[in-house]
Amino acid sequence: MIITVASGKGGTGKTMVAVNLALVAASQRPGVQAASGDAKMLSRYDTRPLLLDCDVEAPNVHLFLRPTITGQEEVVLPVPEINFERCTFCVRCAEACRYNALAVVREQVLLFSELCHGCGTCSLVCPEGAVREVPEVIGLIEEGAASTPLADLDFAHGVLEVGRAIAPPVIRQLKRRIRSDGLVIIDASPGTSCPVVEALKGADFALLVTEPTPFGLHDLRLMVEVAREVGASGRTPLPVGVVVNRDGIGDEKVDEYCQSERIPILMRIPFDRRIAEVYSEGGLVIEALPEYRDQFRELYQRIREEVNK
Amino acid sequence: MILSGKGGTGKTTVAAALAHLAAQEASIVLADADVDAANLELVLSPQLQEEGEFTGGGLAVIDPELCIACGRCHDVCRFEAIIPGDEVYAVDEIGCEGCGACAYACPMEAIEMQEQLDGKWFRSQACYGPLFHAHLFAARENSGKLVTLIKNKARALALERGADYLLVDGPPGIGCPVIAAISGADLTLLVTEPTVAGAHDLGRILGVARHFGIPAVVCVNKYDLNFAKTEEIAAWCAAQGVPTMGRIPFDQEVTRAMVQGKPITEHSDGAVAEELRQIWAWLKARLD
């Protein structure tokens, strides 16, 4: 099962929800619960949940999980390199590039590699065979495992290089780590465009975190639209559920909206200054404030029910 | 130009307040460069004056009459957007990045790149000045191009009217819409929060500002939620040679102002408004 945690608006608590949800899910696996005394040893024989941080522009999960990184992999994009012995400056490559990454000025071909999507069209259209594609590093993938007193998790994240524009290739490469069995929880970036779509593709459930304010509602509506579009294009529809974070700070309009759209509100996290404090230090809510443990367990349970509906 | 790296740190709250303060003494033009989730209009409640269509990119469309299922399109597509079939191939509209490689590769000329309506842009009149904003349709590409379009329109009007300031509310992250938004700015105000995530992402967005040679200043929002972290961030900024121009306290009045659709500086005269007035004075001095 793949659960993607998303929100149109930033800062609603995606990462906090994703990390704590992943940990309660990990602690609840049958093997782990049965052997409460020796949970960690047993868990090595099971598939541990995988938490993927797909917010490659601003990845933050590692700040809370403090994982041990055991593997690294560069993300490269094939960008054009012009062989000027063959190039006739016919301009076809620049005309074909939809991303304006190539320009021909007199006897020169200029490459704006930060705009390149690595599609390879330029080399396809060059009649002289003068365009060769060479790999350029645009990001990094790191993977490893996190061990907390509550449970163990597998972890991986992508880091887009500063100054680079195109995040989806990093997300795509990161998502190759998804195994068909076991639980995968994905922390998406804010927004509603390509990186979010990339993070939502193939998910079994979209968990949308919002706050009860006009900004939260406005962006939740957009996010529901995105989830529906992604679901409609995939092989199976994408069910959605909502977490209302900082419940009580604003108005009732998120509730009214969810009711009218028949979207289940699966959890309400009250506005609690202690959560903000734990979060600010990179702490785990379910560890520092155990009273929230059951609520996250219930959230996980309700997601499973929604997926199996 | 207001940016943050991490989302939800208070960019729009700060932008709306600065718009209110700036408009009292100067002529300004506003732009909301968060085209994924534009929120500035929710606070400024502007009157719509003009709108236009945004066709960002193409979408590959396969003519099933011409397709011979040879698979060339599938071979060249780097975005896994071609769905193979026994008799005809199809395009995954969400996956297609509009590059056109398949159209060039198809020996039957069965693939056409069709222009797609990807969003809309708007020019509205807010009480503080003209506002350019946009709506990128759900799950579409090219947010960077739409940001550039909004900014160019806003800049053209600002020059035409001889406006004193162009104030841009930016998107979260560090990727294509941010890069489109930051280019050409005279100064960027980075809004952060005193959390490990806020500090981490501040480092990344400052890297972007430096990469493109844009001077940056920082303000810490909700600074009193973690005093130690705030000072850690300020010390880090100082070591980077970046001034911390403000410490905005946490106050639930900010949410109340948002619910009422007003900038916090117009809504109340509390400590948040006072600090924002100070920040505006600093910014003005810095810009002049």
Residue from B12, B141, B176, B267 to probe the interface with A (highest A Cβ count within 10 Å): B176
Nearest to A249 among B34, B141, B252 (CB): B252
pTM for this one?
Answer: 0.93
Question: For B183-197, how does the pLDDT look when each residue is reduced to its tens digit (9 = 90+)?
Answer: 999 999 999 999 999
- The residue ranges of chain A whose pLDDT is under 50 are 33-45
**3-state class of A236 per DSSP?**
coil
User: Which DSSP string corresponds to B156-208?
Assistant: HHHHHHT-SEEEEEPPSSSSHHHHHHHTT-S-EEEEE-SSHHHHHHHHHHHHH
Q: Looking at residue B100, what is its pLDDT?
A: 96
- Does B177 share its domain with B189? yes
Range of the domain at B11: 2-55+118-287
Rounded to whole angstroms, the Cα distance separating B191 from B198 reads 9
Question: For B199-257, how does the pLDDT look when each residue is reduced to its tens digit (9 = 90+)?
Answer: 999 999 999 999 999 999 999 999 999 999 999 999 999 999 999 999 999 999 999 99
Question: For B200-210, how does the pLDDT look when each residue is reduced to its tens digit (9 = 90+)?
Answer: 999 999 999 99
Rounded to whole angstroms, the Cα distance separating B116 from A265 reads 34
**3-state class of A22 per DSSP?**
helix
Nearest to A20 by CA among A305, A304, A301, A295: A295
- Which DSSP letter does residue A281 get? T
Contacts of A229 in chain B (CB under 8 A): 94, 138-139
φ/ψ of B141, rounded to 5, equals -90, 180
CB of B260 within 8 Å of a chain A CB? The answer is no
Inter-chain touch B100–A58, beta carbons under 8 Å: no
User: What average pLDDT is seen over chain A?
Assistant: 92
Q: Looking at residue A232, what is its pLDDT?
A: 84
- Token code pair at residue A183: 């639980």
Domain boundaries, chain A: 2-74+138-307, 84-129
From B75, B93, B115, the end of a domain falls on B115
- Does B102 share its domain with B27? no
CB of B140 within 8 Å of a chain A CB? The answer is yes
B 34-93: CB under 8 A from A:
34, 36-37, 39, 42, 57-58, 76, 78-80, 92-93
Nearest to B6 among A11, A201, A277 (CB): A11
Inter-chain touch A98–B174, beta carbons under 8 Å: no
- Does B19 share its domain with B43? yes
Q: Looking at residue A30, what is its pLDDT?
A: 61
Homologous superfamily (CATH) for A2-74+138-307: P-loop containing nucleotide triphosphate hydrolases (3.40.50.300)
CB of A92 within 8 Å of a chain B CB? The answer is no
User: How many of the other CB atoms lie within 10 Å of CB of A306?
Assistant: 16
Question: For A253-284, how does the pLDDT look when each residue is reduced to its tens digit (9 = 90+)?
Answer: 999 999 999 999 999 999 999 999 999 999 99
The count of domains in chain B is 2
B 106-135: CB under 8 A from A:
none
Q: Looking at residue B52, what is its pLDDT?
A: 97
Inter-chain touch A163–B179, beta carbons under 8 Å: yes
Which residues pair with residue B111 across a beta bridge? B62
- Does B135 share its domain with B191? yes
- Token code pair at residue A262: 């028949």
Rounded to whole angstroms, the Cα distance separating B113 from B102 reads 9
- Does B135 share its domain with B124? yes
Chain A CA closest to residue B113:
A98
Nearest to B78 among A118, A192, A251 (CB): A118
CB of B170 within 8 Å of a chain A CB? The answer is no
- Does B64 share its domain with B201? no
Q: Looking at residue A37, what is its pLDDT?
A: 45
Strands A265-270 and A240-247: parallel
CB of A30 within 8 Å of a chain B CB? The answer is no
Q: What is the CATH number of the domain that holds B123?
A: 3.40.50.300
Helices of type H across A149-268 = 168-175, 194-200, 214-233, 253-261
Q: Is B5 a residue whose pLDDT tops 50?
A: yes
- Span B73-101, average pLDDT: 94
Q: Looking at residue A38, what is its pLDDT?
A: 44
Q: Is B139 a residue whose pLDDT tops 90?
A: no
Q: What is the CATH number of the domain that holds B72?
A: 3.30.70.20
Using alpha carbons, list the distances in angstroms from residue B157 to B30, B120, B149, B162, B166: 10, 18, 13, 8, 10
- Span B147-173, average pLDDT: 97
Rounded to whole angstroms, the Cα distance separating A65 from A85 reads 52
- Does B87 share its domain with B230? no
- Does B97 share its domain with B127? no
Q: How confident is the model at residue B272 (pLDDT cuts 50, 70, 90)?
A: very high
CB of A112 within 8 Å of a chain B CB? The answer is no
Using alpha carbons, list the distances in angstroms from residue A243 to A17, A61, A88, A212, A296: 9, 18, 58, 10, 11
Contacts of B255 in chain A (CB under 8 A): 213, 249-250
Residue B4 φ/ψ region, left for φ over 0, alpha for ψ in the -120 to 50 degree band, beta for the rest: alpha
Inter-chain touch A57–B197, beta carbons under 8 Å: no
Only one residue has tokens 């000072």, namely: B231
The CATH number of the structural domain formed by A84-129 is 3.30.70.20
Rounded to whole angstroms, the Cα distance separating B143 from A195 reads 11
- Does B178 share its domain with B39? yes
- Span B156-164, average pLDDT: 97
Q: Looking at residue A187, what is its pLDDT?
A: 98
- Token code pair at residue B232: 């850690």
Q: How confident is the model at residue B151 (pLDDT cuts 50, 70, 90)?
A: very high
Q: How far off is chain B from A277, nearest CA to CA, in Å?
A: 7
A 246-305: CB under 8 A from B:
249-251, 273, 276-277, 279-282
Rounded to whole angstroms, the Cα distance separating A12 from A7 reads 7
Rounded to whole angstroms, the Cα distance separating B85 from A36 reads 50
A31 vs B147, higher pLDDT: B147
Strand order in the sheet with B28-32: B47-54, B119-126, B129-136, B28-32, B165-169, B2-3, B188-192, B216-221, B244-248
CB of A118 within 8 Å of a chain B CB? The answer is yes
Contacts of B229 in chain A (CB under 8 A): 280-281
B165 vs B143, higher pLDDT: B165
Contacts of B98 in chain A (CB under 8 A): 98
Inter-chain touch A191–B172, beta carbons under 8 Å: yes
Contacts of A164 in chain B (CB under 8 A): 175
Q: Is B120 a residue whose pLDDT tops 70?
A: yes
Q: Which residues contact B46 (CB under 8 A, 6 or more apart)?
A: B124, B125, B126, B127, B131
Q: How far off is chain A from B72, nearest CA to CA, in Å?
A: 12
Inter-chain touch B141–A193, beta carbons under 8 Å: yes
